[in-house]
Each structure stands twice: as structure tokens, then as C-alpha cells.
């Protein structure tokens, strides 16, 4: 069996849905083939959601306010968890074991961890293919960090204002 690979994706300037679908596809293919490939997404707070600021913030505020403290549904405020939740929505994690295994092999980071910070990746790590979702930034967009700060998340954790 081949050595498991860890793919590293940088979310800086990537459109959230396109990034999430590319990551979900990599994870699901690996899980269905029986490989233990992992995916790390760094700089989650710098991913972008397209649309006007007011409509995007209103949409995420509505999702968050569905929350009930004891009953759910629980919608996250932190940018790393919002990105992970978006990928989770693209996986069959409730119906198939391959979807659950795929979600378990996903790690999303705010900022960039020290061992991945320099351009030299450790052994067993490879840069993920950005060609599937690489696009120029649209005219109207909101960064995931701004959405999280608007929902009340502690923005000082990723260098945002609060």
C-alpha cells in the first residue's frame, strides 16, 4: 500500500465553496480507495465568500441565529470551523463510512502552523492542486475572518480587530 500523503491547501484568496469542494473530492477519493491521505487547510480566515457584504453577513447571521444552546443545530462562529462545516456539507458523513473517514482526515487551521510556515514542507506533505479553484478575486467579497468577527468570534486570535 502506498505511503499516506498529507495535502496542504492555502485558503488565502480562495473562494470558500470552490476550495471546500476540491478538498472534499480529494478526501473522498482517498477514503473510498482505502488510503489514509490527509488534508490540512491553512489560513482559513483569509478564504473569501463572494457577494455583497451586507447579504453575506446577513446570510451567515441567519444561519448562526438558528442555534439553540441545548438542541442545535449548532453553527460555528470561528473561521476554521465554518470552513470545516462547509466541507462536511459536501461529504456523505452521515450515510457512509467513507464520508466519516474523509471528515476525520481533514484539519483546518487559523493562520499557518510553524512547521508549515516556511516554504519547505516536511516529508510526506505536498501542496494541494489549486488549479480546480484558482480564480481572480471578484469585485464583491467578504473574508471569512470578517464574517466570524461579525458573528462575535474573538478576532484577536487571527489578527482581526475586536
Task: Tell me the pLDDT tens digit for each residue of 79-126.
Answer: 999 999 999 999 998 999 889 999 999 999 998 888 887 777 888 888
Question: What angle do helix axes 79-88 and 144-151 make, rounded to 10 degrees?
Answer: 110
- Alpha-carbon distance 25 to 58, whole Å? 29
pLDDT band (50, 70, 90) for residue 134: confident
pLDDT band (50, 70, 90) for residue 2: low
pLDDT band (50, 70, 90) for residue 8: very high
Note the pLDDT of residue 114: 84
Task: Tell me the pLDDT tens digit for each residue of 37-56.
Answer: 999 999 999 999 999 999 99
Cross-strand pairs, 41: 9, 108
Note the pLDDT of residue 10: 93
Judged by average pLDDT, the poorest of 24-33, 76-85, 125-134 is: 125-134
End-to-end CA distance of the chain: 49
pLDDT band (50, 70, 90) for residue 62: very high
| From the candidate CATH numbers 3.40.50.300, 3.20.20.220, 3.30.930.10, 3.90.1180.10, the one assigned to the domain spanning 6-158 | 3.90.1180.10
pTM for the whole structure:
0.91
pLDDT at residue 162 greater than cutoff 60: no
Cβ atoms of 82 and 76 within 8 Å: the answer is yes
Residue 10, H or E segment: strand 6-10
Amino acid at each position: 500500500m502506498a505511503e499516506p500523503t498529507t495535502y496542504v491547501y492555502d485558503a488565502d484568496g480562495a473562494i470558500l465553496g470552490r476550495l471546500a469542494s476540491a478538498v472534499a473530492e480529494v478526501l473522498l477519493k482517498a477514503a473510498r480507495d482505502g488510503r489514509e491521505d490527509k488534508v490540512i487547510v491553512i489560513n482559513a480566515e483569509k478564504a473569501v465568500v463572494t457577494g455583497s457584504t451586507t447579504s453575506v453577513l446577513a446570510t451567515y447571521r441567519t444561519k448562526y441565529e438558528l442555534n439553540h444552546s441545548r438542541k442545535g443545530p449548532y453553527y460555528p462562529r470561528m473561521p476554521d470551523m465554518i470552513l470545516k462545516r462547509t466541507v462536511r456539507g459536501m461529504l456523505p458523513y452521515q450515510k457512509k463510512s467513507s464520508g466519516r473517514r474523509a471528515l476525520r482526515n481533514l484539519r483546518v487551521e487559523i493562520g499557518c502552523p510553524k512547521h508549515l510556515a516556511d516554504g519547505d514542507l516536511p516529508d510526506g506533505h505536498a501542496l494541494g492542486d489549486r488549479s480546480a479553484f484558482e480564480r481572480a478575486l471578484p469585485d464583491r467579497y467578504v473574508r471569512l475572518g470578517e464574517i466570524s468577527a461579525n458573528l462575535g468570534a474573538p478576532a484577536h486570535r487571527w489578527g482581526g480587530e475586536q
